[in-house]
Amino acid sequence: MMKELQEVTENRISTARRAAVSQGAARILVVEDEAALSMLLSYNLEAEGFTVDKVERGDEAEIRLSETIPDLVILDWMLPGVSGLEICRRMRARETTRSLPVIMLTARGEESERVRGLAIGADDYVVKPFSVPELMARVHALLRRARPDRASGVLSAGDLALDRQNWRVRRGGRDVQMGPTEFRLLEHLMGKPGRVFSRAQLLDSVWGLSAEIDERTVDVHIGRLRKALSSASEKDPIRTVRGAGYAFDETFGGVG
């Protein structure tokens, strides 16, 4: 019975993860060294439709943040390697993670400690033990403030508009036909105009962590996306950065 229950749980999480990736869901990085709590957070976040990455050490979090920038970090205060407080301080000192939403988890409930955590740069502070529904509500609230474009469901730049809810792309009054992978690529790039994503980062964010796909596949789909978006007389909104990757042109239609 326990084995069957475990299989059902794993299948539900796997299904939620695939759905989250296919919908371009927000990615949450959970940095927590308590295995049971990390699993609890991951399960509930994935049930909410988020894509979740997990690490147990502060130094591992540093490496992960240098590879892929998530949409929000849930960060334990006390961690092996590097403390959560120091991780938060370093994030706020770097341009790429300066505005990244952070929820700090800690067993320290004193007012002075909460003030210290918020002063170092955390956006919210949750004391253990905590209510999981309350934490989920805080995650949603922070993401709404940090990503107002997600609330509207529409990304637009110049004559180009991407409708997340209806999976529709229009340019200059015409419908643009593209496959689901090209749609997710465009959504990811448009979400952060000007930011350069490596092929590995795009594979991670668009195809998912478990995808066993060669990085050259990204080039193929970028080529298809460009062909779908632009005629001979239209400006290409996708910028290639030699040796680095791809970006949505921050100057396209006055973006940036």
pLDDT digits (tens, 9 = 90+) for 166-206: 889 999 889 999 998 899 899 989 988 888 999 988 887 78
What one-letter code names the amino acid at 170? R
Query: 13 in a domain, yes or no?
Result: no
Query: 7 in a domain, yes or no?
Result: no
Q: First vs last Cα of the chain: how many Å apart?
A: 55
The answer on 168 and 110 residing in a single domain is no
Return the half-sphere exposure (C-beta side, CA atoms, 13 A cut-off) of residue 231: 5
Query: 69 in a domain, yes or no?
Result: yes
Predicted TM-score of the model (pTM): 0.55
Query: Any bridge partners for residue 105, and if so which?
Result: 76, 126
pLDDT of residue 99: 86
> Which residue bears the tokens 């955390």?
122
- The radius of gyration of the chain from alpha carbons, rounded to an integer in Å, stands at 19
The answer on 104 and 84 residing in a single domain is yes
Range of the domain at 97: 23-149
Q: In CATH, what number is assigned to the domain containing residue 120?
A: 3.40.50.2300
The answer on 127 and 169 residing in a single domain is no
The answer on 174 and 73 residing in a single domain is no
Contacts of 148 (CB under 8 A, 6+ apart): none
pLDDT of residue 118: 75
- Read off the DSSP letter of residue 110: -
DSSP assignments along 9-38, one per residue: HHHHHHHHHHHHHHTT--EEEEE-S-HHHH
The answer on 38 and 66 residing in a single domain is yes
Distances (CA, A) of 232 to 179, 226, 229, 235: 21, 11, 10, 8
The answer on 137 and 27 residing in a single domain is yes
pLDDT of residue 216: 85
Query: 87 in a domain, yes or no?
Result: yes
Query: 3 in a domain, yes or no?
Result: no
Residues 120 and 75 sit within 8 Å (Cβ to Cβ): no
Q: What is the pLDDT along the chain (256 residues), one digit of tens a residue?
A: 434 444 444 444 444 444 444 344 688 999 999 999 999 999 999 888 788 999 999 999 999 998 888 989 999 988 998 999 899 999 989 888 888 999 999 887 666 666 766 777 888 888 888 889 889 988 988 887 776 555 557 888 889 999 887 889 999 889 999 998 899 899 989 988 888 999 988 887 787 654 567 788 899 999 999 999 988 788 999 999 998 999 999 888 764 4
Percentage above 90 pLDDT, the chain = 36
For the chain, how many structural domains are there in total? 2
Give 66-86 pLDDT, tens digit per residue: 888 898 999 998 899 899 989
Residues 163 and 226 sit within 8 Å (Cβ to Cβ): no
Return the half-sphere exposure (C-beta side, CA atoms, 13 A cut-off) of residue 213: 20
3-state SS assignment for residue 239? strand
Q: Is the peptide bond before 129 cis (omega within 30 degrees of 0)?
A: yes
pLDDT of residue 4: 43
The answer on 165 and 52 residing in a single domain is no
32: tokens are 């927590």
Domain end residue (candidates: 119, 149, 179): 149
The answer on 245 and 163 residing in a single domain is yes
Q: Which residue intervals of 56-120 are DSSP H helices? A: 58-67, 84-93, 111-120
Q: What distance lies between CA 154 and its chain's CA centroid?
A: 17
The answer on 127 and 29 residing in a single domain is yes
The answer on 221 and 190 residing in a single domain is yes
Q: Give backbone dihedrals phi and psi of 121, rounded to 5 degrees, phi first.
A: 130, 0
Query: 14 in a domain, yes or no?
Result: no
Query: 49 in a domain, yes or no?
Result: yes
Q: In CATH, what number is assigned to the domain containing residue 215?
A: 1.10.10.10
Burial class (CB in 10 A: 0-12, 13-18, 19+), 85: buried
Query: 145 in a domain, yes or no?
Result: yes
The answer on 188 and 137 residing in a single domain is no
- Give CA–CA dist 179/156, Å, rounded: 19
- Give CA–CA dist 203/185, Å, rounded: 9
Angle CA(96)–CA(63)–CA(53) in degrees, nearest 5?
90
The answer on 79 and 38 residing in a single domain is yes
Domain end residue (candidates: 149, 167, 185): 149
Domain end residue (candidates: 149, 166, 194): 149
